[in-house]
Amino acid sequence: MDTPAPDWIPLAAKHTYPGWVQRKAVTLCKRDQKRGGNGNVQQYRLAIHQAVVACHGHDHWTGEWLDWTLIGTYDNREAAAGGGEHLQPPGTGLRDLRLAHQ
Protein backbone atom coordinates (compact mmCIF):
# COMPACT_ATOMS: atom_id res chain seq x y z
CA MET A 1 0.00 0.00 0.00
CA ASP A 2 1.31 3.41 -0.96
CA THR A 3 1.09 6.33 1.47
CA PRO A 4 2.30 9.35 -0.48
CA ALA A 5 2.67 12.64 1.34
CA PRO A 6 -0.32 14.94 0.89
CA ASP A 7 0.21 17.92 -1.43
CA TRP A 8 0.17 20.43 1.44
CA ILE A 9 3.15 18.84 3.22
CA PRO A 10 6.28 20.97 2.69
CA LEU A 11 8.75 19.67 0.14
CA ALA A 12 11.38 19.16 2.88
CA ALA A 13 9.07 16.65 4.63
CA LYS A 14 7.66 14.84 1.58
CA HIS A 15 10.66 12.53 1.38
CA THR A 16 10.47 11.69 5.11
CA TYR A 17 6.70 11.13 5.23
CA PRO A 18 6.36 7.51 3.95
CA GLY A 19 9.06 6.21 6.31
CA TRP A 20 7.58 8.18 9.20
CA VAL A 21 4.14 6.66 8.59
CA GLN A 22 5.69 3.19 8.46
CA ARG A 23 7.65 3.65 11.71
CA LYS A 24 4.61 5.03 13.53
CA ALA A 25 2.47 2.15 12.26
CA VAL A 26 4.97 -0.47 13.46
CA THR A 27 5.33 1.19 16.87
CA LEU A 28 1.59 1.56 17.46
CA CYS A 29 0.82 -1.93 16.16
CA LYS A 30 3.37 -3.51 18.52
CA ARG A 31 2.08 -1.45 21.44
CA ASP A 32 -1.52 -2.42 20.80
CA GLN A 33 -0.70 -6.11 20.22
CA LYS A 34 0.91 -6.18 23.68
CA ARG A 35 -2.42 -4.89 24.98
CA GLY A 36 -4.39 -7.60 23.21
CA GLY A 37 -5.06 -5.83 19.91
CA ASN A 38 -5.12 -7.76 16.66
CA GLY A 39 -4.52 -5.11 13.98
CA ASN A 40 -1.68 -5.38 11.49
CA VAL A 41 0.90 -2.83 10.38
CA GLN A 42 -0.83 -2.17 7.06
CA GLN A 43 -4.09 -1.29 8.82
CA TYR A 44 -2.23 1.12 11.08
CA ARG A 45 -0.39 2.64 8.13
CA LEU A 46 -3.65 3.29 6.32
CA ALA A 47 -5.32 4.72 9.45
CA ILE A 48 -2.40 7.07 10.16
CA HIS A 49 -2.23 8.23 6.55
CA GLN A 50 -6.00 8.81 6.41
CA ALA A 51 -5.84 10.84 9.63
CA VAL A 52 -3.02 12.98 8.26
CA VAL A 53 -4.87 13.59 4.99
CA ALA A 54 -8.10 14.42 6.85
CA CYS A 55 -6.42 16.99 9.14
CA HIS A 56 -5.27 19.09 6.15
CA GLY A 57 -2.12 19.92 8.14
CA HIS A 58 -3.86 21.32 11.21
CA ASP A 59 -3.99 20.15 14.82
CA HIS A 60 -7.25 18.32 15.50
CA TRP A 61 -7.98 20.13 18.78
CA THR A 62 -6.56 23.63 18.32
CA GLY A 63 -6.81 24.07 14.57
CA GLU A 64 -3.23 25.39 14.49
CA TRP A 65 -1.03 24.63 11.51
CA LEU A 66 1.45 21.85 12.37
CA ASP A 67 5.13 22.07 11.48
CA TRP A 68 5.40 19.05 9.20
CA THR A 69 9.12 19.61 8.69
CA LEU A 70 9.54 18.14 12.20
CA ILE A 71 8.25 14.65 11.37
CA GLY A 72 10.82 12.01 12.13
CA THR A 73 13.04 14.37 14.13
CA TYR A 74 12.00 13.44 17.70
CA ASP A 75 14.71 11.46 19.49
CA ASN A 76 13.52 9.53 22.58
CA ARG A 77 17.08 9.11 23.88
CA GLU A 78 17.81 12.80 23.58
CA ALA A 79 14.54 13.73 25.28
CA ALA A 80 15.11 11.22 28.09
CA ALA A 81 18.58 12.64 28.68
CA GLY A 82 17.11 16.13 28.94
CA GLY A 83 19.10 17.41 26.00
CA GLY A 84 16.14 18.13 23.76
CA GLU A 85 13.98 21.18 23.46
CA HIS A 86 10.84 19.03 23.46
CA LEU A 87 7.92 20.71 25.15
CA GLN A 88 4.84 19.13 26.69
CA PRO A 89 1.54 20.93 26.33
CA PRO A 90 0.02 22.02 29.66
CA GLY A 91 -2.03 19.30 31.26
CA THR A 92 -0.12 16.38 29.74
CA GLY A 93 2.65 15.80 32.27
CA LEU A 94 2.85 12.88 34.69
CA ARG A 95 1.90 15.16 37.59
CA ASP A 96 -1.20 16.28 35.72
CA LEU A 97 -2.21 12.67 35.06
CA ARG A 98 -1.87 11.85 38.76
CA LEU A 99 -3.99 14.84 39.69
CA ALA A 100 -6.66 13.84 37.20
CA HIS A 101 -6.98 10.42 38.86
CA GLN A 102 -7.23 11.67 42.45
Radius of gyration of the chain (CA): 16
**Structure pTM?**
0.73
Tell me the CA distances in angstroms from 48 to 4, 29, 92, 94, 95, one per residue in order: 12, 11, 22, 26, 29
SS (H, E, C) 89-102: CCCCCHHHHHHHCC
Measured between alpha carbons, how far is 75 from 55 in angstroms, rounded to an integer? 24
Q: Span 33-39, mean pLDDT?
A: 92
Instruction: Kindly list the domain boundaries of the chain, sorted by start residue.
Output: 11-100
Show Cβ contacts of residue 56 under 8 Å, excluding neighbours closer than 6 positions.
Answer: 6, 8
Tell me what percent of the residues of the chain surpass a pLDDT of 90.
Answer: 59
Q: What per-residue confidence (pLDDT) applies to 96?
A: 41
Q: Is the pLDDT of residue 1 over 70?
A: no
Give residue-wise pLDDT tens across range 63-85.
999 999 999 887 778 777 775 55
